Amino acid sequence: MVAYSWLFVPLIFSFSTILLIGGIENSEIYIELVESRGYPIETHEVETEDGYLLNVYRIPYGKNSVGNGTPNRYPVLMQHGLFGCGENFIWLNQSIGYMLADHGYDVWVMNVRGSWHSVKHKTLDPDKDDAYWRFTWHEMGIYDIPATIDYILKNTGAQNISFIGHSQGTTTIFVMGAVRPEYNEKINGLVAMGPMSVILNPEEIFIRLVAPHYKLFKAIGKVLDIQKFPPFLSNRQMHAMNRFLCGLKFSPRWLCTFLVSILVGPNDDQFDPRIFPITAPLTPSSSSFHQLIHYGQNMMDKKFTTFDWGNAKENLRRYGSEKPVEYNVTNISFKVALYVAPNDVFVSNQTVQFLEDTLPNISEVYRVPYETWTHVDFLWGRDLNIYVHHNLLRTLNGFIRQ
């Protein structure tokens, strides 16, 4: 769960200002940024079984055409966390996506349904149809990932891929492995960064405050007909606002940095405030409201189960059961490397222990050897190259050559 919710406080203050100046659509900036660094980037559209249209990025080879034309580059698929988007893996010089492209990998980056670049559907209108937003990370696991895997295998001729998930991007792949085990053999291994199925006893202050009352929030959401999160704001407005608040020369960086520290932990000395112009306009990316409630439900039940739609018929339609169903993680047969941050306010030792106790095929637990490494340092840590890249190459190499 990427903690970009820190943006909401100042967001509210500047709401009216931004409504006056209007939104800015700046998606192209990030494509240009990748190209300016000397890397090729493609965008693909993947359609899921239930009609969602997903934007997928691909960096097929390395900097300045290194590896262009080399056959059999190993496909690796990356998935971002809650409130994140595909850029999380390619936004900084030291981002993981570039490093992998330079080391022989064919890099694919997902944007899950409902996140900034994937608010699209074949028949539903996300601006008008509530039905569009009625999903949680369950549907990302059972539809978005399988559709993307099939697309990659078809386009590359490979027989399997490696998967790197961050935060919610690990929850979704656990869901897939449990519910659609026929896809497990298409994954040669999973690197789970900041991993979580059930969140147990997190230190993060907002989760601690909000999760115990998830039923209340669910009821309020129902009354106000909230489907999307954050509600009442378009993505354009939100991005313009965040850019204005934290991404411009005159933005109060000290305030933004302070809010980052509240949300991701007080000791993020891997965070460089100079990256705000790149990161602020992208975050938080939209999600469905139900994703948040689903995490709350599992956390309070201390069980990894499907979401309770509060309606027996709806549950029956989605899960073949009137009540939420426990995910059978025994079904997850692929190898899993857990990448744990010692200073992760979302992922406690209990959460890691829970994963170690339940997942059947853990090949490695890599505790980043840097005591203040946070949940989001996997995305923006200054020293990613020192603390993550080297080990990641070793892990992936192990998956491929088993």
Ligand X SMILES: *[C@@H]1O[C@H](CO)[C@@H](O)[C@H](O)[C@H]1NC(C)=O
Chain residues in the site for ligand X (CB under 6 A)? 37, 93, 158-160, 178-179, 181, 185, 188, 327-328, 330-331, 333-335, 349, 360-361, 402
Catalytic residue chosen out of the listed positions 95, 344, 377, 389: 344
Q: Whole-number minimum distance, CB 155 to ligand X, in Å?
A: 14
- The amino acid sitting at 73 is R
Neighbours of 43 (CB within 10 A): 14
- Nearest distance, CB of residue 142 and ligand X, angstroms: 9
240 vs 376 by CB, closer to ligand X: 376
Check if 301 is active-site: no
Contacts of 51 (CB under 8 A, 6+ apart): 121, 122, 123, 124
Is the Cβ–Cβ distance between 49 and 111 less than 8 Å? no
Other beta carbons less than 10 A from residue 255's beta carbon: 14
Residue with smaller CB distance to ligand X, 47 or 314: 314
Nearer to ligand X, 17 or 333 (CB): 333
Instruction: Answer whether the bond into residue 230 is a cis peptide, omega within 30°.
Output: yes
- The contacts of residue 363 (CB under 8 Å, 6+ apart) are 189, 335, 336, 337, 395, 398
* Residue 250 DSSP class: T
Using Cβ positions, the residue closest to ligand X within the complex turns out to be 328
Residue closer to ligand X, measured from CB, 311 or 328: 328
Whether 167 sits among the annotated catalytic residues: the reply is: yes
122-150 core/surface letters (b: 16 or more CB in 10 A; e: else): eebebeeeeebbbbbbbbbbbbbbbbbbe
Please tell me whether the peptide bond between 284 and the residue prior to it is cis, using omega within 30 degrees of 0. yes
Q: Which among 162, 167, 197, 251 is annotated as catalytic?
A: 167
The nearest distance, CB 320 to ligand X, in angstroms, is 9
The two tokens of residue 402 are 């088993």
213 catalytic? Reply is: no
**Nearest to ligand X of 166, 335 (CB atom):** 335
φ, ψ for residue 336, nearest 5 deg = -125, 125
- What is the token pair recorded at 164? 């790197």
CB of 233 to ligand X, least distance (A): 30
Taking the complex as a whole, how short is the minimal distance between the CB of residue 156 and ligand X, in angstroms?
10
Minimal distance, residue 291 CB to ligand X, in Å: 19
Which residue's CB is nearer to ligand X, number 327 or number 378? Answer: 327
Choose, from 117, 121, 290, 375, the residue flagged as catalytic.
Answer: 375
Q: 13-22: long-range contacts (C-beta < 8 A, 24 or more apart)?
A: 14/241, 14/244, 14/245, 15/241, 17/244, 18/237, 18/240, 18/241, 18/244, 19/237, 21/240, 21/244, 22/240
Please report how close the Cβ of residue 216 comes to ligand X at its closest, in angstroms: 29
CA dihedral 302, 304, 310, 313 (to 10 degrees): -150
Q: Give 16 or 402: the residue with its C-beta nearer to ligand X.
A: 402
Annotated catalytic residues are 167, 344, 375
